[in-house]
Amino acid sequence: MTCFPVSGYQLRRGSPLDQASLVKFMECNWRELAPDHPRQHLASTVDRYLAADTPLWWVQPQASSAAIACLWLGWATDQDNGQIHPYLLLLYVNPDHRRRGLASALLETAHSWTMEAGYQQISLQVLSHNQAAQSLYEKLGYQPQAILMRRRLPSETCC
C-alpha cells in the first residue's frame, strides 16, 4: 500500500493480474456514461492494452480490501510532435465515494508518476456530455488540444 492523501483511503498499485477487476470497473463506467451502448469490447480492450508498463492504481477504504476507484494509464502519440506519452484510459470512482477528492488525488498520483518517469505531458479524452469530468480536468490544468470528430458510415457494402 502507498500513502494516499484522502483520509480513510489507501492506494494500491495494480498489475496485469487485475484484468478481471479492470473490466468490471470499465463496465461500471460505461454503464453510467453510455447505458445504451454495447460493452462487449471492454474485455478485449483491457486484454489488448493492460501490460506491465501500463500503470494502474486502485483505491480502497482503509477498512476494506475492495477497490472503490481506479486509474489506468496507457500510451498515446502526440499529434504535434510525435512523442509517446501517458494517456488516461480509465478514471472511475464508485458513486458512493464521489465528491471526496479521490479522482483529484488519483490524477495527482498519475501526474507525479508521469513526471518521475520523465514525460512532460499526459493526455485524455472525455465524452462531450460528461460535464463533471470536464470540469475536474479543467480545474487540474487540462486544456483541449484537438476535437475528435466522427462520421457513422452505412453498414452495407456497395457493389
Domain 9-139: which topology? Aminopeptidase (3.40.630)
* Strands in the chain per DSSP E: 9-13, 56-61, 69-77, 84-93, 123-124
> Confidence class of residue 158 from pLDDT cuts 50, 70 and 90?
low
Distance CA 104, CA 99 (A): 10
Identity (one letter) of the amino acid at 119?
Answer: Y
pLDDT digits (tens, 9 = 90+) for 52-68: 999 999 999 998 999 99
DSSP H or E stretch at residue 105: helix 102-116
* Mean pLDDT along residues 114-121: 96
Distance CA 75, CA 119 (A): 11
Q: Pick left, alpha or beta for residue 8 (phi over 0 → left; psi -120 to 50 → alpha; otherwise beta).
A: left
pLDDT digits (tens, 9 = 90+) for 64-107: 999 999 999 999 999 889 999 999 999 999 999 999 999 999 99
Our measurement of the distance from residue 54's CA atom to the centroid of its chain's CA atoms, rounded to an integer in Å, reads 11
- The answer to whether residue 157 scores a pLDDT higher than 80 is no
The per-residue pLDDT for 1 is 62
